[in-house]
Structure 1
Amino acid sequence: MTTLTDRPNAALIVIDVQNNIVAEAHDRDQVVANIATLVDRARESGVPVVWVQHSSDEHLPRGTEGWQFVKELVQRTAEPVVHKRWADSFEETDLERVLADRGIGHLWVTGAQTDECIRSTLHGAIARGYDATLVSDAHTTEDTSEYGAPTPDKVIAHTNLYWQYHRAPGRTAGTQPTAEVNFKIAG
């Protein structure tokens, strides 16, 4: 269990599922559909959904169409949005306060890009004392193999493999596919 005291609750974290970020993402439609399923399931279970939205002055200006969340995912007014400028969703954001205010110690992580913001946020969570479960079929990345990276399917598979076995003292990690996520027993 989390090393954070008095944090028995879980949250679904939806990272950077924005028009320009996932436009060319691997298996985009299926990943977005899986995230939509998880959002609905979290809401039905009373588990908070926390939205993370990236911006940068040059490549992803705030307020533009490319910066918006994809149309298939609808953020409700009562659900917090954390605005970020760095890969790790905790860096220079109010994410920790949002989670602390809700007694959250366990994160279910989804979104994009697997090899950047997902991995950074997972490691940032564990380093800060959270339990962090990566939903194995609810994260994606674009193809950057022309720059020497593995193809997206391999990036995703590798991230799932190493996070499945990741551990830290007093904290748990792991992966779980969308179909097996049960928010009612999470915590």
Structure 2
Amino acid sequence: MTTLIDRPHTALLVIDVQNGVVAHAYDRDRIVANIATLIDKARAADVDVVWIQHNSQELPTGSEAWQYVPELVRRDAEPLVQKAYGDSFEDTDLETVLAARGVGRLIVTGAQTDACIRSTLHGAIARGYDVTLVGDAHTTEDLSPYGAPTPDKVIAHTNLYWRYQTAPGRAAGTVDTADVDFAAAVPA
């Protein structure tokens, strides 16, 4: 249903699951395990896995904090997109990577829910992609001391509002890891 012409393929986005991003994330181990399951499912269905890696003063390139968590291992053939802003499309080559692969549908996972995940969801649907959020495969740290809701509420709210997100000619929604079927998403 994407509005992008000749883009029948799906990709799994793995956003910012870096040591310094998820070290204190809510339900970290379960979320990382779910993302690992999704990566295995995508690879088995020959669906592109696209890795997004944030660079900042807190996550300097090459540092331990900048590295992806050890439980998730990128294959050399899988694209790695470097970014410096919340939206994974902003000032990156993500659009070029996806266009070259004919991708018009995105399955989104990673961190942080209330920053890079939300920004990328909105950036993708505004650019014409169908965008599905895996509700049990994204997380955030506890920012409630600064006035934010607790992480469980941030995640629940994001899952709720993305489930009902709409845009002309595009589909959005939220699913759980167990319900993601990449084989069904592969065009004949």
Q: Could you tell me which amino acid in structure 2 is paired with residue 48 of structure 1?
A: D
Counterpart in the other structure of 1:44: 44
Residue 153 of structure 1: aligned partner: 152
- Measure the CA separation in 2 of the matches of 1:74 and 1:160: 26
Are 1:34 and 2:34 an aligned pair? yes
Gaps of 5+ in 1: none
Per the TM alignment, residue 51 of structure 1 is displaced from its structure 2 partner at its CA by 0.1
1:176 correspondence with 2:163:
no
Deviation track 1:60-81 (CA, whole Å, cap 9, x = no partner) reads 1000011000000000000000
Q: How big is the alpha-carbon RMSD for the aligned residues of Structure 1 and Structure 2? A: 0.5
- Asked whether 1:113 is paired with 2:109, we answer no
Counterpart position of 2:102: 103
The residue identity in structure 2 corresponding to 1:38 is L
Q: Distance in 1 between matches of 2:75 and 2:166?
A: 33
> For residues 1-35 of structure 1, what are the alpha-carbon distances to aligned partners after superposition, in whole Å with 9 as ceiling and x for unaligned?
10000000000000000000000000000000000
> Where does residue 16 of structure 1 map in the other structure?
16
TM-score by length of 1: 0.99
Q: Which runs of 4+ in 1 moved over 2 A?
A: none
Aligned to 1:90: 89
Match of 2:132 in 1: 133
Q: Percent identity?
A: 71
Separation in 2, partners of 1:109, 1:46: 17
Equivalent-residue separation in structure 2 for 1:117 and 1:186 (angstroms): 25
Give the corresponding residue for 1:164: 163
1:56-111 Cα distance to aligned partner (Å, 9 max, x none): 1x211000011000000000000000000000000000000000000000000000
1:142 aligns to what?
141
Partner-residue secondary structure (3-state), 2:108: strand
Give the letter aligned to residue 153 of structure 1.
D
Tell me, in whole angstroms, the C-alpha distance in 1 between the residues paired with 2:58 and 2:174.
31
Partners in 1 of 2:63 and 2:115 — Cα distance? 22
Counterpart AA for 1:120: S
- Could you tell me which amino acid in structure 2 is paired with residue 43 of structure 1? R
Q: What TM-score do you get using the length of structure 2 for normalisation?
A: 0.98
Any idea what the Cα deviations from partners look like across 1:143-185, whole Å, max 9, x if unmatched? 0000000000000000000000001000000000000000011
Aligned pairs, number: 186
Q: How far apart in 2 are the matches of 1:176 and 1:82?
A: 24
